[in-house]
Copies of this chain bind each other. A is one copy, B any other.
Amino acid sequence: MTDTTTKPKKKKKWFKRPTQSDKPKEQPVEKNASTVAADISTATTSKVSPAKKKKRPAKAQPVPVPEPGGEKIKIIPLGGLKEIGKNLTLVEYKNEILIIDCGLSFPDDEMLGIDIVIPDMTYLVKNQEKIRGVVITHGHEDHIGAIPYLLKQINVPIYGPRLALGLLEVKFKEHRLNNVRMQRIKGDETFQLGVFKIEPIRTTHSIPDAFAIAVHTDIGTILHTGDFKIDYTPVDGQVMDLHKFADLGEKGVLLMLADSTNVERPGATISEQNVRKSLENAFMNCKSRIIVATFSSNIHRLQIIINTAQKFNRKVVINGRSMLNVFAVASELGVMNVPEGLVIDLRDMDEYRDDQLVLLTTGSQGEPMAALSRMSSGEHRKLDIQAGDLVIFSASPIPGNEKTVSRVINQLFEKGANVIYDSLAEVHTSGHACQEELKLMHNLVRPKYFIPVHGEYRHLKQHANLAMSLGMPEENVFTMQNGQVLELDQIEGKITGKVQAGPILVDGLGVGDVGSIVLRDRKHLAEDGLMVVVVTMDRSEAKVVAGPDIISRGFVYVRESEDLMEEARIVVQKSLDQMEQRGVKEWAQLKNGIRDGLKDFLYHKTQRRPMILPIIMEV
């Protein structure tokens, strides 16, 4: 890479770019690459080949020429497009399928009562014999959260970073899944899965052990960046392997799929080291307790907080189920470095002065059930907020959470705490690349084709624009939808079809049993409540034997609206009388008659439209 201009004036040639390296690198890039033993006995299809130990070429590799009419490679995203969440991408070639990530998303406001959302897996179940495995880029929920639901349907091996596998094991226990075939992936360790040669490349993100995945096939290389930002001074010292990306670009990449989350933000993300400094400043002169809320999965941040506590002679109390979970997994795996005796039990807090304590807690998003929220509202069984406490939100509100976060901040201030948040100090940084980092990635990899992923439509669109502004021809950029099938070879790329895809709603134990009708009813009930009308009728004569009785919920406070309820009963009685005179005997007709009369009456009286549920009992 000699050309460091990120915005070339004229269009560049993509992919097959003449090299002009004035300083050819001599170090073999993959010198640490070694063979990974495939210790998964049942995964018969996963062949392992030793990574090639050869020098990085000074010239670009010749492009493999596809046979005319030869097999193309298919890319099928089943999740992660037009949304931030439930990432799942398929690479299909020569009747073999590789899955990259299998995550969940959280329900939007319309999905009342829904716990989580997972991708539709119909296509995977149908084609299960083709699947060679799932490769995980990193351990975030939107990349691993749907794996238990996949494994309940089909048995496939999981390849992932150590930390992601550790977090998955906790999930498998909860879901009572046994004997899952898992294998760790590492940077510099290439392995074969069927026709796919998988090369994990170390990146930096808000969780350690994060990888981009290069998939080498005999038709070309697919690079999936995973989630990344470029942190030149990461907490764990594991710098992103930019040389690998440069090397791939040099050799030629057929297709890149890249993270679009922060494409609307100019510049570059700040390093976790800036966050460290801000936190140290906050700790420096604090004589009171310090409470830090952050994402439990942001292990870099946890490490910084641990280190800062150590530096300022404070013990750390960990609080909140998911925080305890992650802490346990990360410490056990050695992903986190926790000095002996630094973390103490909540029950031993009394033995320390306020200025000797840090509480590390969940609830940075204002989630009502999280530890910090319960402390701030006085509903936590064991902890409360003391006047003078310093509370640090080391996280930004995820879009949609602004109001709940604000509510917690207000409550904390009211309890006399000092609160540091958001823009008041550099106490958080994003895990996703901003514009200049994305430009660097495009510039290093210079793929022939590009799919923006991991974003709402606005982000995908802006990322496509960014790629084109760097010189990529429009016809090589594919702004896709979940389920679309992109077929590629060296000559052209084309969307050729669509497979079943979409959100599957999980509510309690039910997977997919809550659909649009149930949600519509929930919305209706939420808006205006419900009125049940029960009438007992004689089967033969269609005469009222008992009732009508009326019960309402979520409509009006009945004790203060007795008159209204009595009037409503009379309205129903009248409808029934009229229908009896007209000789109506069909239950369905009777129900409609009751509903229509009551609906008009209630709207006239209240301008509300409760759900009306007429029930006829036969005797």
Identify the A interface with B (CB < 8 A).
82, 108-109, 112-113, 264, 399-400, 402-403, 406, 409-411, 413-414, 419, 423-424, 456-458, 461, 507-510, 513-515, 517-519, 521-530, 532, 534, 536, 545-547, 549, 551, 553-557, 560-561, 605-608, 611, 613, 615, 617-619
Contacts and interface: CB of A to CB of B under 8 A. Distances in A.
B113 A619 contact: no
Nearest to A481: B414
Contacts of A457: 410-411, 413-414
A81 to B, nearest CB: 11
A50 to B, nearest CB: 46
A366 B41 CA distance: 54
29 contacts: A264-B424, A399-B402, A399-B403, A400-B403, A410-B456, A410-B458, A413-B461, A419-B458, A508-B606, A509-B606, A509-B607, A509-B608, A510-B556, A513-B561, A514-B556, A515-B557, A518-B555, A521-B529, A521-B553, A522-B525, A522-B527, A534-B534, A534-B615, A534-B617, A545-B619, A546-B619, A549-B617, A553-B611, A615-B615
A560 B555 CA distance: 29
Contact of A549 (B411, B507, B615): B615
Nearest to A114: B527
A400 B366 CA distance: 13
A478 to B, nearest CB: 15
Nearest to A460: B413
Nearest to A513: B556
A188 B519 CA distance: 57
A164 to B, nearest CB: 26
A471 to B, nearest CB: 21
A553 B513 contact: no
A515 B413 CA distance: 27
A508 B527 CA distance: 11
Contacts of A619: 536, 545-546, 619
A523 to B, nearest CB: 7
A380 B30 CA distance: 58
Nearest to A423: B264
A613 B413 contact: no
B547 A617 contact: yes
A456 B240 CA distance: 42
Contact of A508 (B108, B534, B608): B608
Contacts of A525: 522, 525-526, 529-530, 553-554
A419 B546 CA distance: 61
Contacts of A526: 112-113, 522-523, 525-526
Contacts of A551: 613, 615
Nearest to A525: B525
